[in-house]
Chain A
């Protein structure tokens, strides 16, 4: 007699992997493998999301992960995160100035006229979500023509690459608290230190920056609907390429090594009493992430604000509780643990049955006795 339930695991895994690989290639002779540049370009929002949630800015490997896991954003981010575990941390960048971003989009919902002007950029915010049925059968010629003619029609009046931050303007007006820059405090590195509560704000920001978009949105939405009271105004949402500076290995001087596409969002919330004898001022929430992902940056900014409130006054809502928010928004953690319930739990279930049967037996005996009395 052999083991019925649990033998043959090795072969089963191989079979499952082979079947997945078949699904990836099931188009057969009529199909072509997705090329990585197409993924980076035509699936750009997914691509940015995977880099952001994977916590690694590696456009090529992120595209590979999307291809390999057939567009599953959780799995693709997971693979990128695991790859990251094999790499040591070699150096730290200085504080980077997002005012120097090469912008592709920048808006403010606080002021009509911000210094430098609104720059709508590429955004579906105001378009009708109608399916464009003509794309059902899009010819390569037509596809290639669109970009070419768009570039031809570009007006000559060149906009500047970078624009001043809206918050600087508000700060000058005395509406916001002054910078409290503490250059001695090292940023908390969530990849090298576990979160032990209470955690500094930098740990909260880092955790949210690589959080799963949907989880972050869900908790931020609870705050927006009334389980909280941030009531944010978007002072500035900017999308663009942030120059990355790193210390030169020999001279130590900060030099630009490249740029990353990020989304940054700063929200202003209503003022409250300040603890430090200053006059009342607006409060701030900050969000930023890799890629073009405005929902994530905005949700993060709201949660940054609500967490600051919770850290100061004690949490009154889930979105103000640092443990609740920060320990439940990681896509890799939550998806992994959710998935694990599909693994065998024979031993523990056997133990559960033992408890239930023992309790049932006792209860039955008790009832029989009660009847006899």
Chain B
């Protein structure tokens, strides 16, 4: 066992890693089912991605290429913190910011814009693993509802939204049915990212550290957001007053999820790609085309 900074490879003891791997296998075998696991305390706060981190540390090995993003950014404070920790405790791995180079991607709140491939695993950090939490507080009762695929109260919640607001008001963490049975909380990704889960070539693993659950959307599996026949699922709208899709102010892309902020010098509203790597790629491509 390699000793790193006084800690063994992957920080966790081997029993903990074995337990996570076995839970992952079970999660893949039962798409969308929340597998309980003991979940160790990590040296960063519960809620900062300790569930995702335990998955990453249990799966990563020598030669693996890791990308860590938070809000679509490789350089946001939490992404840097997690990446540094993995680098420190896992020598012989390498890290990247490029989506296509990574074999393992840990992310909070986003699925990368670039389509993932079969050789990649996406790990999502999860604060609330259970889509039923909004309608049922007791985990014991929720477990029975999942087993019976009883999602009537969730559908009623959507229906009530439509009656009150003429819109489904769930913005992110949109309930999504996996493989025709379990409904998952896909983690706080925007609705924009939910369709990327459907028939994804990459394995998607979701880890909730504080709530001690692991679940999976296996490759090429159905992932259908909850909706009604006459009220279809809709992603975030980025069109301007004239109904045109806003471009990213930096790279000009009209396909990506956008961050909105105020330009501190001009006071204007500015829209930019939330996925930094994607944005850089688009700029690069534009430059190559111009040359």
- Residue numbers of A with Cβ under 8 A of B are 1, 3-10, 12-13, 78-79, 81-82, 84-89, 190-198, 323, 327, 332-333, 335-341, 343-348, 350-355, 358-359, 362-363, 366
Which residue from chain B places its CB closest to the CB of A189 in the assembled complex? B38
User: Which of B's residues lie within 8 Å of A, judged by CB?
Assistant: 7-8, 11-16, 19, 36-48, 50, 70-73, 75-81, 84, 109-110, 127, 138-140, 143, 165-167, 169-173, 188-192, 210, 212-213, 236-237, 249-250, 257-261, 264, 272, 274, 276
Sample of 19 further A-B pairs with CB below 8 A, known A4-B261, A363-B165: A3-B73, A3-B75, A5-B259, A9-B73, A12-B77, A194-B212, A195-B212, A198-B140, A332-B46, A337-B46, A337-B47, A340-B47, A340-B127, A344-B76, A348-B171, A348-B172, A351-B192, A352-B172, A359-B166
Pair B48/A86 contact, Cβ less than 8 Å: no
**In the complex, what distance in Å separates the CA atom of A359 from the CA atom of B163?**
12
Q: Which residues of B contact A197 (CB under 8 A)?
A: 138-140
Q: Which has the most chain B C-beta neighbours within 10 Å: A88, A193, A340?
A: A340
A1 touches B188 (CB 8 A): no
| Chain A, residue nearest B258 (CB) | A350
Kindly count the residue-residue contacts between A and B in the assembled complex, taking CB atoms under 8 Å apart.
180
Residue contact A3 to B272, C-beta cutoff 8 Å: yes
A82, B76: Cβ atoms under 8 Å? no
Q: Do residues B169 and A85 form an inter-chain contact, with CB atoms below 8 A?
A: no
Task: Determine whether the beta carbon of B210 is less than 8 Å from that of A337.
Answer: yes
CA distance A366 to B166 in the complex (A): 10
Q: Which residue from B41, B109, B167, B257 sits with its C-beta under 8 Å from A78?
A: B41
Enumerate chain A residues within 8 angstroms of B169, measured Cβ to Cβ: 355, 359
B171 x A85 contact (CB < 8 A): no
B41 touches A337 (CB 8 A): no
Residues of A within 8 A of B80 (CB): 9-10, 13
Q: How far is the CA of A337 from the CA of B167 in the complex (A)?
A: 30
CB distance from B204 to the nearest CB of A (A): 17
- Rounded to whole angstroms, the CA-CA distance of A190 and B41 in the bound complex is 12
- Contact A336–B11 (Cβ < 8 Å): no
CB distance A85 to B13 under 8 Å? yes
Question: Across the interface, do A333 and B7 meet the contact criterion of CB distance under 8 Å?
Answer: no
**Interchain Cβ contacts under 8 Å between A and B, 11 examples:** A12-B77, A86-B7, A190-B38, A194-B38, A327-B139, A336-B44, A336-B48, A343-B48, A344-B70, A347-B110, A348-B173
Contact, CB under 8 Å: A351 / B36: no
A191 & B171 in contact (Cβ 8 Å cutoff): no
Whether A89 and B109, one on each chain, are in contact in the complex, defined by CB atoms closer than 8 angstroms, is no
Q: Cβ of B236 and Cβ of A354 under 8 Å apart?
A: yes
Partner of B171, one of A5, A355, A362, A363: A355
* CB of A236 to closest CB in B, whole Å: 33
CB distance from A343 to the nearest CB of B (A): 6
Would you give the shortest CB distance from B40 to chain A, in whole angstroms? 4
- B259 near A340 with CB under 8 A, answer no
Q: Which of A4, A13, A85, A366 interacts with B42 by CB under 8 Å?
A: A85
The smallest C-beta distance from B245 to any residue of chain A, in angstroms, reads: 14
A198 to chain B, nearest CB (A): 7
Within the assembled complex, what's the spacing in Å between the Cα atoms of A195 and B139? 10
